Every structure is written in structure tokens, then in C-alpha cells.
Amino acid sequence: MSSFADADPTVALGALDGRYRPVVAPLVEFLSEAALNRMRVHVEIEWLIHLTDHKVVPGVRHLTDDEKAGLRRIVSEFGPAQVEELAAIERETVHDVKAVEYFLKRRLAGIVPGEEDRGLSELVHFACTSEDVNNLSYALMVRGAVTSVWLPRATSVVDQVAGMAGELRGIPMLAHTHGQPATPTTLGKELAVLAARLRRQLRRVGHAEYLGKLNGATGTYGAHLAAVPDADWPGISRSFVEGLGLSWNPLTTQIESHDWQAELYADLARFNRVMHNLCTDVWTYISFGYFAQVRGQGTVGSSTMPHKVNPIRFENAEANLEVSNALFDVLAATLVQSRLQRDLTDSSMQRNIGSAFGHSVLALDNVARGLAGLDAVPATMAADLDANWEVLGEAVQSAMRALAAQRVPGMDEPYERLKELTRGRRIGAEDMRVFIAGLGLPEDVAARLSAMTPASYVGAAPELVRYLDDAGA
């Protein structure tokens, strides 16, 4: 048997890099191994510029604007050839961050002319532990993935749900609590509930804090102060970290504690769980016939049953949300743990961040496409409502309770009387109207209740959808 691995190096081991690559490709710019190395190069270069700009080390001159531009071009021009060069260096160093240091030192002579680069090259990775570079790189990468890829896609899907809620706000629908017919609502109001929940999570993700540190091997600035004892190293570290657009963490071990990551991943996982709830509810509404899958459905639904259009988008989304959450949960649980001042569990664990985001983005793509193919079927919802007149029992007994509280005679035991009429059996419109007529209700109340139908018994559901405006992301 021939080997795919030997014959074709492009054959993917995982689905994200295989059949689903086009959907998740934007994340590659932020969360791939290549993106990590590019960000490491960026952090190292900015640290060198920061040191020289602030004359931290006595006797080291400022870099010229052209020299700074030349250094920053290393980042902007970082591509496949540089990835391969770094990999070759790492095979010698057997250390990824040290490979980045040597990679930059090779280029320095071509950017900073003359003999000056010899001294300057020793400020590349100056006083840094690898985690000084890595924690800042990951914070910038994750922030970029959230703000440039995940959040826009998630917001678009939630806006899609909110738009459907507005369009369907007045479509009456039989509710089901515990799987049983319950007080009617509207399809739009139920979608609005989900949209509001999702928007709340989007707000949390949108306000995430991304922390970073640069303080040496055990977070003490020991090497920094040994080399340049008169410098304000905490202040230099803070201005550098904040200059990258991150929040400075002054108290760490060798690693930044990753608590911000755990907080963010918990919020992302919670969003995923609410989205999973949306998928299962929409799937169920499709099974009830409340939604028809008609638009853009040129696909094969079943390999043997021609009539079927399966809700595969929502099922696919459920599966990918579950995989995403499994990864986000283990990331959040593991990254907050570190033995004493350092161990390497976080290093291996963080290499799975891209997969966690990828499965979430893939799920969002499926939900968006699934929702776009739905049409509400009011006739099916109306038929279900008309077959369940017993749900008006709640309305009648509530009106009777209000009258009893006002000491209107004959309104005793309203719940028990409605239970006897409705529990365990179906009743129709005539049954309900005859029952209402025999209750001895005041004329105006009897007329109001007799005019009520399951389809009209939706309370304020259509108006409640407007509260979505208050739940905007």
C-alpha cells in the first residue's frame, strides 16, 4: 500500500488544514507556527528599537529612521523563505526563540552599516528569557485573531439571528417547555432571546484584556539590573509592553501567568455553548416544520431518500463547537497552572490555540449558511397552535385569580377547574368557549377570553424583540 505521507506532503492530517482550509485560512495569518515566528521577530525588533530609542544601555546610539524602517521590513517581508531559514537554524539550535535571535543577527549587518552592528547585535534578545518574547507574541497573535477574524464573523452571525428575530417577531408559535405544548410565543421573540444571550458574550470578548510582561528569567529583572543597574527596568518594561498595545503585568514568574487567556477562552467557550443551543433549537424547529430549508439547497440531502434536506449545517456546527470547547476548556484549565517558576506544559498547550479558534470559526460559517437557507412556515405553526387550545387554560385561570382577588363571587379554585378541563386531553375552540361561558365571568372578561385564540395568546412577545437594541454588542 502506498503512503500518502511519502507521496504528497500537502495531504492534511486534520480537517482544518484539509477540507475546511478555505474557511479557516484567515486564522493562519495570526495563529499558525509561521505567524508565531513572525511575531517573535516583530517583538525582538521592537525591543531592540525600544532599548536604543531610550538609550537604556549607556553609549549605544539611536538608530536612524532608515535603520528602524529596515528592521521593520524584516517583519513585513517575512514569508515562506524566512520560515524555512528559521527552521534550518532551529535544527541546529534545537531552540525556537534562540533561532529567531540568530536569524535577526544575520540581518543586522545589512541594515546597520559599519562596525557598529557588532555591538548592537548583542542587544538583540538583551536580558530576555524566551518567555519574554513568547508571551508578548501570543498576546498579540490572539488579539489579532479575535479582533480581525473571530469577532467580526461572530458578530455577523449574531446580527443575522437578530435580523431574523425582527422579521419574525409577529409570527405566533406554540412554545414547548419540557417538550410539551406551552404558552404560545412568537418565533422572532425566541430568536431574540438567543441573539441577546450571544451579544452579551460578544461584549465580554470585545472587552478582553491582553496582558504581557518582560522581566527576565524569574520575573525579577535580575539580568537587567546586573547589566545596567541605574536603569528603571520596571518602567522600561511597562512602556515597552504598553507600546505594543498590551496591558503590563508587573508580577510574574518566568512566564506571564496566562490568566487573561483563561478568562478569554472561558468567554469564547460560553459563546460557543449559547451558539450550540441556537443550533439545537433551530434543528428542532426544522424537525417541527416551523422552518423549511429551501433557499440554496441544491445539495443531496440523503444518499437514498430523495425527499430529504438534512439540517447538516447545524449538525456540523454542533460538532465543531464541541471540539472548539473541548480545546478552549483544556487551554483555560491548563494554562493557569505552572510548577513553581516555570514548566513547559503551557508551551505545548498554546500550540493548540489555532485549532480551538478554527473549529469555532468553522461552526460560525456553517450556522451562517444554515440560517441563510431557512424560510419560516407560518402555516405549520398555525396548525400546531390550533391543535392545542388547552394552552389557553393558563389565561383563563389567571383572569379568574385576578377576579377572585377582587372578591368577585364564583371565582374559587380556578386552577383546579381548568386542570379538570384540560389535563391529559385535547380540547377545541368550542370546548373552551363553552367552558368560559359557564364560569359566570363578568361580561367584558368573558368576551375578551372567548375572543382569544392560541395564536393571539402571545402576550408582549412581538414588542419584546425591541429590547435587542439594548443588547447590542
3-state secondary structure 250-290: CCCCCCCCCHHHHHHHHHHHHHHHHHHHHHHHHHHHHHHCC
Paired with 224 in beta bridges are: none
Of 206, 202, 200, residue with least CA distance to 154? 202
DSSP 12: -
- Identify the CATH assignment for 25-128 out of 2.40.160.10, 3.40.50.720, 1.20.1290.10, 1.10.275.10: 1.10.275.10
- Which 8-state DSSP code applies to residue 244? T
**Residue 144 is inside which H or E element, if any?**
helix 130-145
DSSP H or E run through 248: strand 247-248
Q: pLDDT-derived band of residue 303, with 50, 70 and 90 as boundaries? A: very low
Q: Which element (helix H / strand E) includes 293?
A: strand 291-293
Closest CA to 388 of 173, 170, 169, 191: 173
H helices present in 388-460, as ranges: 393-405, 414-422, 429-437, 443-451
Distance of CA 420 to the CA centre of its chain: 48
3-state SS class at 340: coil
Percent of the chain residues topping a pLDDT of 90 = 76
Q: What's the mean pLDDT when you consider all of the chain?
A: 91
Using the predicted structure, report yes or no on whether residue 60 has a pLDDT greater than 80.
yes
Query: Can 95 be counted among the known catalytic residues?
Result: no
Task: Give the separation between CA 391 and CA 459, rounded to whole angstroms.
Answer: 13
In this structure, whether the domain defined by 131-377 belongs to CATH 1.20.200.10 is answered with yes
User: Is the confidence at residue 63, as pLDDT, over 90?
Assistant: yes
Whole-angstrom Cα distance, residue 138 to residue 151? 17
Per-residue CA distances from 79 to 26, 34, 115, 380, 430 (Å): 15, 8, 29, 56, 76
Non-local CB neighbours of 76 within 8 Å, separated by 6+ positions: none
Evaluate if pTM is beyond 0.85. Answer: yes
- Summarised one tens digit per residue, pLDDT across range 191-216 is 999 999 999 999 999 999 999 999 99
From the list 76, 287, 302, 456, the catalytic residue is: 302
Residue 473: the pLDDT is 44
User: Which set of grid coordinates corresponds to residue 234?
Assistant: 520596571
Q: Which of 178, 207, 303, 307 is catalytic?
A: 178
**Which residue would you say has higher pLDDT here, 310 or 27?**
27
Residue 265 is predicted with a pLDDT of: 98
The whole-angstrom separation of Cα 445 and Cα 396 is: 9
Reported as a pLDDT band with limits 50, 70 and 90, residue 412 is confident
* Predicted pLDDT at 413: 80
What pLDDT is attached to residue 305? 44
Mean pLDDT of 300-328: 80
**Is residue 178 flagged as an active site residue?**
yes
Q: Average pLDDT for residues 18-33, to the nearest whole number?
A: 94
Domain positions in the chain: 25-128, 131-377, 389-453
Integer Cα distance of 65 and 294 in angstroms: 60
Helix (H, G, I), strand (E, B) or coil at 41: helix
pLDDT above 60: residue 37: yes
CATH superfamily of 389-453: Fumarase/aspartase (C-terminal domain) (1.10.40.30)
